[in-house]
Amino acid sequence: MLTREPMIERLAIARGLLMEPFNLSDASLRKALATIAAHRIDDADLYFQYTRSEGWSLEEGIVKSGSFGIDQGVGVRAVAGEKTAFAYSDDISEAALLDAARTVRSIAAAGQAGGVKVAGKPRMAAARALYAPMDPIASLDSAAKVALLERVERLARAKDPRIVQVMAGLAGEYDVVLVARADGTLAADVRPLVRLSVTVIAEQTVNGEVRREVGSGGGGGRFGFAYFDDAIIDGYVRDAVHAALTNLESRPAKAGEMSVVLGPGWPGVLLHEAIGHGLEGDFNRKGSSAFSGRIGQRVAAQGVTVLDDGTIPDRRGSLNVDDEGNPTQRNVLIEDGILKGYIQDSMNARLMGVAPTGNGRRESYAAVPMPRMTNTYMLGGDKTREEIVAGLERGLYATNFGGGQVDITSGKFVFSASEAYWVEKGKIRYPVKGATIIGNGPSALTRVSMIGNDMKLDPGVGVCGKEGQSVPVGVGQPTLRIDGMTVGGTA
């Protein structure tokens, strides 16, 4: 059987959706880019996107809502120095394209020649195939999607009679992008994305008082709905029910300065927020990050190695190419405690005199790209989870997190633990509720005292927000012990 090179196949799909229906050709793209480059600019690109999305939600045993949407359009960008001019349109036509091109070129002085030259021939971006170029929405019919949600509810209620309410959601997205750059780069990507979520409410009465607690689970990635087989679904449901039942037994969290053990997987969201954003190129170019100007310096304890890797197959945060047409990479940001580099898009990389790292991302064709994380995680060490917990004389063991906030300039963060336990003399004593972890990202990195050998990635639920744009991401870490953390509580 003959197969086409991955980038050729993706370009064919993108052209079929984003160019041919609107009578656009490669010459049309070059004409628009040449119109922008008539004035002196440093960079220019066109970003076409077609997105089809679908969502279903179940509550109280019935499907209460369903949604389906199609969005398409083109974003046109010109860059001169550190200034960006941007226009977008949901009208994909040569006239709209040229109108946007004339608008954004005004960022440079009219009539001033020079700057970037538009390549005469397109140059295909590097090929990679991290996920299948499939339409996940078509991978399961509507009846089967509803049946899947109903199966989630039955499983959850069967786990424990204290489960009184179940909410489940199923979402799918088929995203096709085409990028044309002034340097001749032509890239396309076909990005499937699915997610299954389950939330349960557990209830019990003790001494005449009714107590209710919530637990959640779920996951997904860049594949079809067939991924959600019985074993996967049961795991999500088990996680949600376990969290809710555990919180039914929880006591108020103690407050104070103490050692904190973070569980593997999703607790890496703290790493993402408190450290990852501070390693993005725009903040460091402007000198507003706590990590600015510290390449080559020790910023973390020995043994701490942090990566941002957009090349992990099928992961939620992975991309074949970023939203500027650059191939994603496995970027080592911190190695054995030493800061090695930052996350870069094209503009910030050019201004800082380094190469792009494949981290130029945007929410949609209506947004400008900026340096963003993909899958950010810490590598494992040599300790077992049991060893790390046993070494805790008195402190908090947090296995799951809810929301959090971070200040990029200072590195200060606040995170709420949605599932946590009080530990004394190396023994888990009881679950606690209301614990918040307060600290400073760069400082916390230097106080990592034990690193587990159980590194894992989150199940595929992460969404990262920055400057009003949201993109799917992944996080991960092994079990970690961090000393001298401030824990806020209610006890």
pLDDT category of residue 410 using cuts at 50, 70 and 90: confident
pLDDT on residue 57:
96
Residues 360-370: tens digit of each pLDDT: 999 999 999 99
Residues 295-338: tens digit of each pLDDT: 999 999 999 999 999 999 999 999 999 999 999 999 999 999 99
Write down the pTM of the prediction.
0.94
Going by C-beta distance under 8 Å and a sequence separation of 6 or more, which residues neighbour residue 251?
Answer: 422, 430, 431, 432, 433, 491
> By mean pLDDT, which of 108-112, 206-210, 262-266, 269-273 is the weakest?
108-112
Residue 386, sorted as left (phi over 0), alpha (psi -120 to 50) or beta, turns out to be: alpha
Q: Which pairs count as long-range contacts for 363-366, CB under 8 Å and 24+ apart, including other chains?
A: 363/469, 363/470, 363/471, 364/49, 364/51, 364/71, 364/73, 364/75, 365/47, 365/48, 365/49, 365/72, 365/73, 365/74, 365/75, 365/88, 366/73, 366/75, 366/88
In the DSSP assignment, the letter for residue 326 is P
Share of the chain above pLDDT 70, in %: 97
Does residue 114 register a pLDDT over 60? no
Which two tokens mark 239?
């996680």
In contact, 396 and 417? CB cutoff 8 Å: yes
- Give the C-alpha distances (Å, rounded to integers) separating 416 from 216, 434, 468: 15, 7, 22
- What would the DSSP string read from start to end of 204-266? EEETTEEEEEEEEEEEEESS-GGG--HHHHHHHHHHHHHHHHHHHT-EEPP-EEEEEEE-SST
Residues 135-145: tens digit of each pLDDT: 999 999 999 99
pLDDT on residue 111:
46
Does residue 2 register a pLDDT over 50? no
Does residue 113 register a pLDDT over 70? no
Query: Residue 310's beta-bridge partner residues?
Result: none
Residues 262 and 271: their CA atoms lie apart, in Å, by 11
pLDDT on residue 1:
40
Q: Hey, which of 56-65, 212-221, 267-276 has the most confident mean pLDDT?
A: 212-221
